[in-house]
Amino acid sequence: MAFLALVGGMELSCSSSDDKKTPDVEEPDGSGDNNDDDASTNDDDTSTPDEPLDPVETQDPNSDYSPAFEGQTRIEGVQTQTEYTASVFATGLSSPWGMANLPDGRIIVTEKAGSMRLVSVSGVLGSPITGIPSVNSSGQGGLLDVAVDPNFEENRMLYWSFSQNGPDGTATAVAKGRLSDSEDQMEDATVIYTAIPEFNSTAHYGSRLAWDGQGNLFVSTGDRSSSVTRPEAQELDAALGKVLRITKNGDPASGNPFESNADALPEIYSYGHRNVQGLAIHPVTGDLWEAEFGPLGGDEVNLIEAGADYGWPTISYGLEYSGNPIGAGITQEAGMEQPVYYWDPAVSPSGIDFYSGNLIPEWTNNLFLGALSGQHIVRLVIEDNVVVGEERLLESEGRRFRDILDGADGALYALTDGDNAVIYRIGP
């Protein structure tokens, strides 16, 4: 049976810009379902590993929709058998959003207001790195994700996504720059991509970054949380509600599925997404997986295929925040992909990562997700692209989890949300 020790816990305010409401837009993610039920972490469970556990979700769903296939939601629970501890690794972060491994084992973290910081292998937080272009940090905007160039040891290049001001509103943008040798400044920071159209909203920017294994960058965007822009998730001439694939210079990557379509943006890789804040590459197959916010329920995990339509807003397992159906109230449509897994009520999944280490062997190749409104870490056991088990970790901490990182040392790292945020290290 797993032994879980929580070391160095502290109180954390659960308020954040994800919980703010603005007129004439959907209710922003993370506020529709608190999902703070009292489901057990099973630390005292006497079940054997082979005995099925009840699903971890105990609350009633918001909708009466039926899943498209068995196990698409509320799969049986699992419980980690390997002993592990969860300890506070780093403290003092202000509304952090994303983190990434550096080759030497350190972690680089973004803060929503516009700062990046280095975290040493012992958890010491560095001073803010200067030279980063200004961001619009209102609402859900700000400095978002960060990605380390695969050739960082030679070129010291970093890439990041952020909410950018423009003449017609705000937009998700991607920039790059060189971390100075002194590591206190970003040199030659340049915006390489802007997701059009701009729009006057401070919500649903996406946005995660992931390398495709060929030196190109996957970038996720949101639908901008408005009835005006929501339909553009289905439009191929708009970059909203998409997964994109671009080069290091911001150009469309060669081989993208719509590169020969004159009516489509050639950077589009997949479409029909609501607000994708999780992207991760499977460590064995190299497949791209994503997690996105639903509205009132209907959060999803998807296996991304080039050129595929993931349905938003035509199909959804969620409801409007008013309780009304989304559109025609359908969950399936020919030519549209089904999620591999979904939640109702919502857990508000943000950053995700696969565990590739072997310190906790039963976790190897499992998918971990940070839940904001759910206030826990989701562990999904996946076999042959099907979810076969779900576990909740650190639920007793009562924190909103913003990002997850497969650590260079074989541990799992979890970033909390809001003021006085921390990074947890989870491992033996």
Catalytic residues: 204
Which of 337, 366, 207, 215 has the alpha carbon at shortest distance from 272? 337
Helix (H) or strand (E) holding 277: strand 276-281
Which of helix, strand or coil describes residue 397? helix
Buried b / exposed e along 145-164 (16+ C-beta atoms within 10 A): bbbbbeebeeebbbbbbbbb
Which of 389, 291, 297 has the alpha carbon at shortest distance from 344? 297
Which pair of structure tokens corresponds to residue 411? 């541990």
Q: DSSP of 77-121, one letter per residue?
A: B----S-EEEEEEEEEESSEEEEEE-TTS-EEEEETTTEEEEE-T
Which of 33, 63, 19 has the alpha carbon at shortest distance from 326? 63
How many DSSP H helices and E strands does the chain contain? Answer: 1, 24
**Residue spans of beta strands (DSSP E) within 54-95:** 84-93
CA gap 409, 412 in Å, rounded: 9
Which pair of structure tokens corresponds to residue 416? 């909390």
Helix (H) or strand (E) holding 152: helix 152-155
CA gap 352, 405 in Å, rounded: 7
